[in-house]
Amino acid sequence: MAVTEAERRAMTRALELAVRGPRGANPQVGAVLLSPAGDIISEGWHRGAGTAHAEVDALSHLAPDQARGATAVVTLEPCNHTGRTGPCALALIEAGVRRVVYALDDPGAVSGGGAERLRAAGIEVEAGEQADAARTVVADWLTAGRLGRPHVTVKWAQSLDGRAAADDGTSQWITGPEARADVHRRRAASDAIVVGTGTALADDPSLTARDGDVLYAHQPIPVVIGSREIPATAALHRHPQGLLRFDTHDLRAVLSDLHARGIQRVFIEGGPTLASAFLAADLADEVLAYIAPVLLGGGRLALTDIGVGSIGEARRLRVVERVWLGEDLLLIAHPVTEEGS
């Protein structure tokens, strides 16, 4: 049976509901329940780890048996496993739902398989409605699940001759206001922003995401890697999110810990040493290089040793976007994998 117009409208609504939920270890999911006549009788979304999933949230607003014969429209395949909550596929079966329309298959080896369970119970199932839109909503969650760690963006600003600072260490500001505003927008789209203790001590950064003098509604969690103490008076301690400290040089362990906390997207702003460490460890999924038309000379390079001893060992990148920001140029690049992507 083809997807009806009422079900298409319900999916659009479910996608709007999905983004009300927090980004975290679990995906953002929305659900709409339709009566046999195609009218909306309930809505729900996932409000965070440990809370009811979207389908169960929507069912919770109905009286017993009110969902019997209904159609459930969900942005992600109903789950088929018991974690902190029970399987949504079973909840829909027990509620007497007649039909399920969902956008995107659940890729989880444990959580997937809900559609098969629903069909086995005699429920009509339609998959793929507005799948691309649903994939956009949970893109970071899908990437983090595939990688087993957060997606990592490494950012730096440099002069035309590849310097991150003048010889006396001053670096504010290499780039202009348009480039700096772009950085803050990208900070706001991240879950965590990471620096090393060197940057934390030298620059006393706030690591907030600001639109001019106003904080963005979403603030990335500030993370500092390194063993040196951060003064109690440091701006980082006044960040609206709690500061995370990692006294280690094991970047994979740091990312594993952040992943366990539900952090899906990490923004590395820690200066040449930290940026180079992530690149050397093959932990950069995206590079943002802000290039200003200034010359600084000297030895304060934007990158240090990244493990390249000869030209044959060069880290190849593919530039996916070029953005002019006032007089500055932003190059967005992705590592070239063995498959050439």
Q: So what's the pLDDT on residue 83? A: 66
116 is catalytic: no
Angle CA(286)–CA(292)–CA(295) in degrees, nearest 5? 125
Q: Which helix (H) or strand (E) holds 273?
A: helix 271-280
**What tens digit of pLDDT does each residue of 143-173 get?**
888 888 999 999 999 999 999 888 887 777 8
pLDDT band at 257 (very low <50, low <70, confident <90, very high): very high
Q: So what's the pLDDT on residue 67? A: 94
pLDDT band at 110 (very low <50, low <70, confident <90, very high): low
**Which of the residues 5, 7, 43, 55 is marked catalytic?**
55
Can you name the CATH fold of 5-137? Answer: Cytidine Deaminase; domain 2 (3.40.140)
Q: So what's the pLDDT on residue 40? A: 96
How do strand 124-127 and strand 99-104 relate by DSSP bridges? parallel
Cα→Cα distances 335→120, 275, 295, Å: 43, 14, 27
Q: In percent, how much of the chain has pLDDT > 70?
A: 97
Cα torsion at 202, 206, 209, 212 (round to 10°)? -90
Cα→Cα distances 331→4, 194, 311, 316, 325, Å: 44, 20, 21, 14, 11
**What tens digit of pLDDT does each residue of 54-108 get?**
999 999 999 988 999 999 999 999 988 776 667 899 999 999 999 999 999 988 7
100 near 130, Cβ under 8 Å?
no
pTM to 2 decimal places: 0.78
pLDDT band at 53 (very low <50, low <70, confident <90, very high): very high
Q: Which of 29-33, 106-110, 225-229 has the highest mean pLDDT?
A: 29-33
pLDDT at 340 over 50: no
Pairwise pLDDT comparison (24 vs 325), residue with the higher score: 325
Sign of torsion over alpha carbons 141, 147, 150, 152: negative
Q: So what's the pLDDT on residue 84? A: 66
pLDDT band at 41 (very low <50, low <70, confident <90, very high): very high
Q: Which helix (H) or strand (E) holds 218?
A: none
Q: Which helix (H) or strand (E) holds 199?
A: helix 197-203
Q: Tell me the average pLDDT across 190-207.
A: 89
253 near 150, Cβ under 8 Å?
no
pLDDT at 328 over 90: yes
Task: Report, at the CATH architecture level, how domain 144-335 is classified.
Answer: 3-Layer(aba) Sandwich (3.40)
Buried b / exposed e over 104-137, threshold 16 CB at 10 Å, is bbbeeeebebbbebbeeeebebbeebbeeebeeb
Strand ranges of the sheet holding 40-45, from the earlier edge strand across to the other edge: 40-45, 30-34, 71-76, 99-104, 124-127
Sign of torsion over alpha carbons 15, 20, 23, 27: negative
Neighbouring-strand partners of residue 126: 101
Q: Look up residue 130 and give its two tokens.
A: 């507005």
| Cα 235–chain centre separation | 25
Q: So what's the pLDDT on residue 111? A: 64
Cα–Cα distance measured from residue 318 to residue 213, given in angstroms and rounded to the nearest whole number: 35
**What tens digit of pLDDT does each residue of 240-253 get?**
998 999 999 999 99
| Domain layout of the chain by residue ranges | 5-137, 144-335
pLDDT band at 338 (very low <50, low <70, confident <90, very high): low
